[in-house]
Amino acid sequence: MRDILDERVFNFAQAAQRHFKTNDLVVVLDLRDEVPELQALPRQGLADAQDLALDIRLKFSRPAADLRDVLGAPEQSFWFLVVFEDEESECAVINASMLVPGGDA
Q: Per-residue confidence at 2, pLDDT binned at 50, 70, 90?
A: confident
For the stretch 47-90, pLDDT in tens is 999 888 899 999 999 988 887 555 454 567 899 999 999 988 89
Asked if the structure places residue 105 within a domain, the reply is no
Q: How many domains does the chain have?
A: 1
CA distance 43 to 24: 6
If you average pLDDT over residues 97-103, what whole number do you get?
56
Asked if the structure places residue 12 within a domain, the reply is yes
Domain that holds residue 35: 7-99
Asked if the structure places residue 39 within a domain, the reply is yes
For the stretch 65-74, pLDDT in tens is 887 555 454 5
Distances from the Cα of 33 to the Cαs of 30, 37, 38, 47, 82, in angstroms? 6, 8, 11, 22, 12
